[in-house]
Amino acid sequence: MEEVLRRENLMRAHARVVQNGGAAGVDGMTVDELMPHCREHWARIREELLQGTYRPQLVRRVEIPKPGGSGTRTLGIPTVVDRLIQQALLQVLQPIFDPTFSDGSFGFRPGRSAHDAVRRARSHIAAGHRWVVDLDLEKFFDRVNHDVLMARVARRVKDPGVLRLIRRYLQAGMMDGGLVSPRTEGTPQGGPLSPLLSNILLDDLDRELERRAHRFARYADDCNVYVQSRAAGERVLTSLERFLSKRLRLRINREKSAVARPWQRKFLGYTVTVHREPKLRIAPQSIYRLKTRLRERLRAGRGRSLSRTVADLTPLLRGWVGYFRLTEVKGSFEDLDAWLRRRCRCILWRQWKRPRTRAKELTRRGLDPTRARVSASNGRGPWWNAGASHMHAAVPTAVLRGWGLLSLLDEQRRLQGAS
């Protein structure tokens, strides 16, 4: 605990909490108010932490939709003071636990990323393990057993004050709409300590897979095991279901888990081709989710200039391409580029509204007046016209690029060249 409360450690933790930002907890305090609050109250908080009498505040419950619209995910937002203490704990505990974790674990670990997990998965498939056991842990962060988790933390942490504080964070009540519900299980996402605790618990799963000499890649609660036949995969799924239930008191969601070919499943947003040397490609579900987000933003931009709408899209598109830059199948980027260009032309067609305005705009942009007049009054809808030759001629790709529309394919090539 003395190491946790060391001034240098706390200053690093404060910088990280401020950098991460995030919403306020139940007390309404923002990260900007954290330092003034600590100047006034930290002596008392420190003494309570050393004496073992500190009680974390309630956690604010927030429900966010899961990707793809399949239900909601519960987030627990601690107060900024508790985020500071959790971050300070994390900075001391991570160097103790992380070196002991499995080489097949990639989530929330320094120097490791989702890209590393995806590359590892591809290497297992390329080595001939062309069946995947895709494990889905049912409501993992909501179902973590506190006693099972604390027993594993206590293997390496002997300070009773630290153990007591971690358990209190696990048991901190959750507030939703003014109502408080106690917590007897789970470690909701939202606090700095939860990712490390999830890795500590699931390290038992990693070690069991290693003991059985299985090839696998795990990122948080996303775990794929690669085998050489469907029969082997079914045996692995059944035996892991027993192991997780008995050892960790976790359940596998049988509806979402499967034994299948890797190109029929997705892992961290990616999938692979059927080639003997598999190529990474973007999973169809990931493309669908991007299009859904883009549609919402494009719809909101109908009443303003297209250049402003395009500028609003750019950060989202850059981030998305940055994540999927490992893709080796370029067709997805090409198709998305064409879809985006058509969406932009569709916005313009809607903004022009009347046939007379459309004819005028088409003529102004270089079309023959007769062709412009016929095209403007063809009676077809905006989406059809956005894909028609008259809009391609009037608003070519070069014009859209001039307004700032990002080419996903060009951006990916740039990122790959930079790396």
pLDDT, position 68: 58
- Report whether pLDDT(71) > 70: no
Task: State the Cα angle at 64 between 114 and 58, rounded to 5°.
Answer: 100
Least confident of 66-80, 190-204, 263-277, 405-419: 66-80
Cβ burial of 372 (10 Å; 0-12, 13-18, 19+) is buried
Cα separation, 321 vs 334, whole angstroms: 12
- Report whether pLDDT(69) > 60: no
pLDDT, position 180: 74
393 by DSSP, 3-state: which? helix
Residues 323 and 317: beta-carbon distance below 8 Å: no
Phi, psi (degrees; rounded to nearest 5) at 332: -65, -45
More confidently predicted of 173 and 239: 239
The average pLDDT across 26-48 equals 94
- Please choose, from the candidates 209, 298, 149, the residue with its C-alpha nearest in 3D space to the C-alpha of residue 217: 209
- Report whether pLDDT(129) > 70: yes
pLDDT category, 271, cuts 50, 70, 90? very high
> Which token pair is 344?
């932009």
pLDDT, position 363: 96
Per the DSSP assignment, residues forming a β-bridge with 189 are 75, 191
Cα separation, 349 vs 385, whole angstroms: 8
Residues contacting 149, CB < 8 A, separation 6+ = 170, 187, 197, 200, 201
Phi, psi (degrees; rounded to nearest 5) at 218: -130, 135
What mean pLDDT value characterizes the chain? 92
- Report whether pLDDT(142) > 90: no
pLDDT, position 75: 82
Residues 88 and 9: beta-carbon distance below 8 Å: yes
pLDDT, position 64: 78
pLDDT, position 316: 95
More confidently predicted of 77 and 209: 209
Cα separation, 252 vs 257, whole angstroms: 7
- Report whether pLDDT(66) > 80: no
pLDDT, position 303: 76
Percentage above 90 pLDDT, the chain: 81
pLDDT category, 312, cuts 50, 70, 90? very high
The average pLDDT across 214-230 equals 96
Tens digits of per-residue pLDDT, 159-189? 999 999 999 999 887 777 777 767 777 777 7
- Please choose, from the candidates 200, 198, 194, the residue with its C-alpha nearest in 3D space to the C-alpha of residue 75: 194
The DSSP 8-state label assigned to residue 70 in this structure reads: S
pLDDT, position 14: 96
Residues 81 and 7: beta-carbon distance below 8 Å: no
Percentage above 70 pLDDT, the chain: 98
Phi, psi (degrees; rounded to nearest 5) at 179: -100, 140
More confidently predicted of 189 and 146: 146
- Report whether pLDDT(61) > 90: no
Residues 204 and 226: beta-carbon distance below 8 Å: no
pLDDT category, 419, cuts 50, 70, 90? low
Cα separation, 193 vs 88, whole angstroms: 9
The average pLDDT across 219-231 equals 95
> Which token pair is 252?
């596998």
